[in-house]
Chains A and B, each alone.
Chain A
Amino acid sequence: MANTDFHLQFQEFEDEQGFTENNQGATTVTIDDPIKSRKQRKATGTAFEEEDDDDKTELLSGQRKSAPFWTFEYYQTLFDVDSHQVKNRIVGSILPWPGKNFIEVYLRSNPDLYGPFWICATLVFAIAVSGNISSFLVHQGQPKFRYVPDFSKVTMAATAIYSYAWLVPLALWGFLTWRNRKITSLVSYSFLQIVCVYGYSLSIYIPAVILWIIPNEGLRWCSIVVALCLSGSVLVLTFWPAIRDDKPRITTAIISTIVILHVLLAVGCKACFFSTYEMDPSKYHNEPSTATNTSSTN
């Protein structure tokens, strides 16, 4: 009885490995489709999804970025994210959790460039649009003011934000790599992971910038402080494991640099694009009058 039970027992096979290992005689054509296997994993239950992704990424992390950087496939690996992953990463960058490190929980050796690039682009256009709206609202009561859209704000905002999102991670990565030679810490981040963290940490500024349309100084400072606290703490929590083995002076120096640069970006954007007291009304008042003066004297 026991023997026939063994032969009649239904054996569960895993997706591909089971077939190739156990059935040497059968010929099976398997087409590797990462999207299909990810869908199958999702079908088995989202509770296990994170662990499955973790296993898969750890297995493949050695093979993932093997394409040379001058091929298109290398950059495709940098955009290998789904919609829900991007959503999770944005939520994770807004809500700091003391135990969770953003890079370890959300990135897990799959940093992407989609988030940083498009969050920065959205922030640039949000600043330009909100700045124009707020200056329009400030000047609305003045009779001689004619609204002219200020397009140069876009280029200024783009330069500021993109250089912050790329040069600061570069400097930070260089500094951390240099310190790692002296003090081998267990945690070391790659350049793309640091860029990813910085890019996603800017996402809290988008609703803050939209709130800045309302020309109320108290509200603006309030939203700046809240946004700074949230994203600053995400950054600090992320980089703390990498530098806590270092000398205390260096540690505090790095943490304070990160925070100060973040503060400077926020305050600088507010000061440049959203000033409630405008120095410009005199310019708009003088131009038509000087034009008429010169035409009358001519």
Chain B
Amino acid sequence: MAEVEESSKRMFAGLSDISISEDIPVEGDISVPVRSQNADDDFSTLDEPVKDTILRDLRAVGQKFVHVLYPKKSSALLKDWDLWGPLLLCVTLALMLQGGSADSGDDGRPQFAEVFVIIWFGSVIITLNSKLLGGTISFFQSLCVLGYCILPLTVAMIVCRIVLLGSISSISFVVRLIVVTASFCWSTFASTAFLADSQPANRKALVVYPVFLFYFVIGWMILTFSPSP
């Protein structure tokens, strides 16, 4: 008996040397089975009034807006992603870039479909780019972050429209330039605050640059907007 124990101890002696070096990042998601309670809640949401359901979703969207306006390194945007906010922002921006004129004489202005396609197609391409470079963020989480971070640019669009209600002069152009530049910097900074952690360290610049280009193009469209007389 003792000999068997001795031999087994010798056999397993080498296993005590197993070491995993500490600079390998160990990451993943552990889903706590709180979900089962939510499953019970899902059944009961059929009975609640519609107003509650809508308000709950709106509250989630509004909470994410607040997270974008005050970007800290939190994962609130990433955990429960939703695409309602980006859709709302994208439609608002595309409608406001129309200028309210129905004539097709000024057809240099971007059409609604062009703005929509640029925003969504651009977001998809940036997400694919970050995943190809080895990012750990999921597809829809990235779309969610990029869409929500358009919020400062939409606010800048509203401000520009208000400024343009006055006269079109160089003062208004300087004001609009400052507002759009500030909101562009804000958008880029907010999205990198959320996205930067999921990228490998030596490729962060490669992932941030397309985001910069994307918001630059949107900011350009906002800045060059001129309303019809």
Query: Does B206 have its Cβ within 8 Å of any Cβ on chain A?
Result: yes
Q: How many residues of A contact B (CB 8 A)?
A: 36
Q: Hey, which chain A residues are within 8 Å of B114, CB to CB?
A: 151
Interface string of B13-25 (1 = CB under 8 A from A): 0110111100110
Q: Hey, which chain A residues are within 8 Å of B206, CB to CB?
A: 81-83, 86, 114
CB pair B110–A31 under 8 Å, yes or no, is no
User: Total contacts A to B, CB within 8 angstroms?
Assistant: 86
Given A121-B213, A148-B226, A83-B205 contact (CB < 8 Å): yes
Interface string of A49-80 (1 = CB under 8 A from B): 00000000000000000000000100110110
Q: Hey, which chain A residues are within 8 Å of B204, CB to CB?
A: 83
A83 CA to B202 CA in the complex, in Å? 6
CB pair B23–A118 under 8 Å, yes or no, is no
A38 CA to B202 CA in the complex, in Å? 10
Given A27-B18, A84-B202, A151-B24 contact (CB < 8 Å): no
State which residues 1-52 of A face B: CB under 8 Å. 25-29, 31, 33, 35-36, 38-39
State which residues 59-112 of B face A: CB under 8 Å. 105-111
State which residues 203-229 of B face A: CB under 8 Å. 203-206, 209-210, 213, 216-217, 220-221, 224-226, 229
A129 CA to B226 CA in the complex, in Å? 16
CB pair A27–B24 under 8 Å, yes or no, is no
CB pair A29–B18 under 8 Å, yes or no, is yes
Query: Does A150 have its Cβ within 8 Å of any Cβ on chain B?
Result: yes
CB distance from A122 to the nearest CB of B (A): 6
CB pair A79–B18 under 8 Å, yes or no, is no
CB pair A76–B18 under 8 Å, yes or no, is no
CB distance from A87 to the nearest CB of B (A): 8
State which residues 117-170 of B face A: CB under 8 Å. 129, 131-134
Binding site for A on B (CB under 8 A): 14-15, 17-20, 23-24, 105-111, 114, 129, 131-134, 200-206, 209-210, 213, 216-217, 220-221, 224-226, 229
15 of the cross-chain contacts (CB-CB < 8 Å) are A27-B15, A27-B17, A29-B19, A39-B202, A79-B134, A81-B206, A83-B206, A118-B129, A118-B210, A146-B226, A147-B226, A149-B108, A149-B224, A151-B109, A152-B107
